[in-house]
Amino acid sequence: MKIKISKAESKTCLFLCVLTLACCWIFAWRHGMFGAKVDWLSQHSVLPDYFRQQFYATGELFPQFAGNLGGGQNIYHFSYYGLYSPVFLLSYLLPFVKMGDYLMAVSIAGIAASVCLFYYWLGRRGFSREVRLSASILLLLAGPMIFQSCHQVMFVNYMPFLCLALLGIDRYFEAGRSGLYTVSVFLLIMTSFYFSIGGMLMLTLYGLSRYMDPENPGKSGSFLKDACAFLLPMATAILMSGFFLAPTACAILGKRDGSRALDIGDLLIPKLPLEDLVHSAYGAGLTAGVITVLITGLSYQKRSERLLHGSCLAIFTVPAFQWLLNGGLYVRGKSLIPFLPLLCYLTAMNLEKQRERKIPLRINIIAHVLTILWIVVSHFYFRELAGEPLWHRLILAEGILLFICFCIYWRLGRLLFLTVPPALCLFVGGSFFYSSAGGALDKAFYEQATDARIGQLVEETLEGEDGFWRLEQKGDAGEKSADINRIWNDRQWISSIYSSAYNTDYQKFRKDIFEVEEPFRNDLMQAASDDPLYQKLMGVKYILGAPEDEASLAAAGYAPYKKEGRYVAYQSTNTAPIAYATDRTVGVQDYGKLEFPYSQTALMKYVVTEDGQAPEDDWKGELESLTVPVELKVPEGKEGDLDIDRPTDGVYHIRAGKTQETKCSLSMPSLQETGKLIFLRFHVQNNQPKKDVAVWMNGIRNKLSARDHIYYNGNTTFTYAAALEPGASEIALKFGKGDYEISRLECFLADARLLEDAKAQEQKLYQSPLVVDWEQTKGSRIVGTIDVKNTGYFITSIPYDEGFEIFIDGEQAEAEKANLAFLGCAIKKGSHQIEILYRAKGASAGKILSCAGILLLLAMLAVEARRKPSRSD
């Protein structure tokens, strides 16, 4: 199959490219940037930039460790975001282009490439120009195409390779050549391994329909033999991807179990979905006409065509398919997005048959009536659009409109009555959806978040720093979200992380042990904490903020260090090093007996090890002398839109028509006047579980997400820790809109000396910091020297992982979990050379699999080259 494009087709492709650009502007670009506030800015644009930065710093094409993110993580926790995507690898040649700008450009180009390849493929399949143009426009306007290209990029950026694979399958059947087929599937996996599963299932169904076509000349007479031959190129592509898939699979197995308990009947009983098929960015996103197409296809004469339609109906109606394609995590229609080209292909098939009058009138009428019944039943019985009656009425009206248009077509015989209405419905629906969905990225905010002066300040700050510390950015919720994975310099290490896979021990430590605040409704968004004790524990020596942050940061021990424009780098002298040696330990069991807030304050004086011994002195009494309970007086009554009453002792009922702040006074104990820390914790009961609840303390936000949110954060206990400014005797509580109760309120004040290390050497926690050799510390390797004052433990704030190896003076030490979540090991007094290596599980085995896959590909190509051509090429 030789690829030839006529002049007329070239003009049509040019038209489709211009149309793509216009639709991208109409739907998304005119509302701001071609990107979104949350995932696009905090994941899909920054993580590929981090991969690129690490490549520049290390020269490693196969990295294993992401030390800069989330305290230090297996880099394959982030592989979903394009670690080896050919789309992002190309950006490595363009270091002068901002990744966000690059992503916007390649996303639009990817949509155009998908539409043009699809149009060309339909031409190869023999469809008329009018039909394939119509089907290509439907693909362009389908819900996920443009929306997800500027939101969840990985949902659709594999589409060009998926369409290319369809061409490859045709070439396999027509010419007996598997090269294009194999390479396309390989690129599909590299671009998005998650969606490649659905993509390969779709390709298999299409290949089966081609095989069953009576005109297929390539049958050997044995279905099993032919099936194996067809699946071999796909298996080869999977093997070639082994260097990526094997360590990714090992990393994902370490993720928490996010699946929900599902009844087997819920998975196997068919349903009549609307959101998975019609006008949704998290499904196929076509019009109600796609239901009519699938139903009509069951009546076609060719068995291969009936199989294709019936298979699509089964996959979209039986929840078990979605559950399996989502890796057993949940039932969500997003996993079916790879079937979009196939649905558009079936639509083109329907239009071609309608043009040739091959479908009887009664079949068409039955299909349209069943479509309307589908819409009604899905809403009233399956509750597909429960609570959205307007949207249901619009879809129902669309189904009726398309039926009327069909009747007009049958009367007048003009195909435009079948091709134009669906495109108009998608265009109007898309325009409405994009304008009402929100989330568009504001240009001013994008420029602020990616301001090169921030990167310059980070570089200047860390350039003169020889120690091993972290640097994080301060800001409001929007800025925290934008910077949660943002790395400006390979020397910058941060504790925050937002990823669908992560180190589970670290996640548990943040949420359940240290109980840092959770400002976002998404459980996966673990932002940089404002808790000064957590900042100290994690070695956050530098914080980038604004001049107006000086007072609050000064209370936590930070002072201005450097300035660049309106950005200021603040420095603390009290922060723990990321790696150090100490002999001040307590055992896990002794630590486990501590309650809030002593579970936090204890880690300012001791480290927790498995065999640690409780100090001989009254260590608990020391902690209690520095942190005492106080009474917090929450004003009752109604003020503005805020109504607070106290139905029972210890319970406050909050009714807020909108977010409103109130002042709460503190009973002040006789603590040292050097400064105070406040700890606050209370339980939240949401009386409106379908809505979020948020409460701020001195600007620090905690949020409990709506119970039905897919990433429900379960944050029913709001915990805060902050430094009070000198002379403060009250705090500001800001109650978010909603109806909820707070109870079991606990409040403590502590001496700010907790943020300092002891002056006496024998009481110091950070006795011996690691002096890092930054020339050798790169990628998966940390090298340095340490002068250990007392035999004890080498402690880090790098999350523990079985992939770590620690060498002391060239001899491997036994790595263990310290402070309940972090990497450590025993160490003896004296000067030592330390080397920490990280080896991702599955990386070596994956490379062997890839080599086998490449050899298999070469063998297949050699056999095909020697085979006498028995089919037309």
pLDDT at residue 618, rounded to an integer: 76
Residue pair 599/679 in contact (Cβ under 8 Å)? The answer is no
pLDDT at residue 218, rounded to an integer: 63
Give the pairing of strands 830-838 and 781-788: antiparallel
| Residue 751: φ, ψ to 5° | -70, 135
Question: For the chain, what is the radius of gyration of the CA atoms?
Answer: 30
| Residue 569: φ, ψ to 5° | -100, 120
Cβ-based burial of 90 (10 A; exposed 0-12, middle 13-18, buried ≥19): exposed
Return all residues near 791 (Cβ < 8 A) that are at least 6 apart: 583, 827, 828, 829
pLDDT at residue 637, rounded to an integer: 93
pLDDT at residue 743, rounded to an integer: 95
Tokens 């050699």 label which residue?
862
- The CA distance from 259 to 329, in Å, is 4
- How many CB atoms lie under 10 A from the CB of residue 595? 7
The whole-number average pLDDT for the span 683-702 is 96
pLDDT above 60: residue 259: no
Residue pair 262/208 in contact (Cβ under 8 Å)? The answer is no
Tokens 């639509």 label which residue?
347
Beta bridge partners of 718: 682
pLDDT above 70: residue 384: no
Cβ-based burial of 412 (10 A; exposed 0-12, middle 13-18, buried ≥19): exposed
Beta bridge partners of 822: 799, 818
- What is the Cα 255 distance to its own chain's centre? 13
pLDDT above 90: residue 379: no
Secondary structure of 196-243 in HEC code, one letter for each residue: HHHHHHHHHHHHHHHHHCCCCCCCCCCHHHHHHHHHHHHHHHHHHCHH
Residue pair 148/338 in contact (Cβ under 8 Å)? The answer is no
- The CA distance from 601 to 579, in Å, is 19
Return all residues near 524 (Cβ < 8 A) that are at least 6 apart: 498, 499, 500, 502, 711
Give pLDDT tens digits for 321-362. 998 998 777 788 899 999 999 999 999 999 999 999 999 999
Give pLDDT tens digits for 527-544. 999 999 999 999 999 999
Handedness of CA 504, 510, 514, 515 (dihedral sign): negative
Helices 389-412, 361-380: inter-axial angle, 10-degree rounding: 180
Beta bridge partners of 278: 286
Q: What three-state secondary structure class fits 463? A: helix
- The CA distance from 270 to 731, in Å, is 54
Handedness of CA 722, 728, 734, 739 (dihedral sign): positive
pLDDT at residue 390, rounded to an integer: 76
Average pLDDT, the chain: 91
Give pLDDT tens digits for 624-638. 888 989 999 999 999
- The CA distance from 259 to 737, in Å, is 30
Residue pair 286/343 in contact (Cβ under 8 Å)? The answer is yes
Q: How confident is the model at residue 471 (pLDDT cuts 50, 70, 90)?
A: very high
Q: What is the pTM of this model?
A: 0.92
In the chain, the amino acid numbered 329 is L
Please provide the distance, in angstroms rounded to a whole number, between the alpha carbons at the two ends of the chain. Answer: 5
Q: What three-state secondary structure class fits 74? A: strand
Give pLDDT tens digits for 785-835. 999 999 999 999 999 999 999 999 999 999 999 999 999 999 999 999 999
Using left for φ > 0, alpha for ψ between -120 and 50, and beta otherwise, residue 539 falls in left
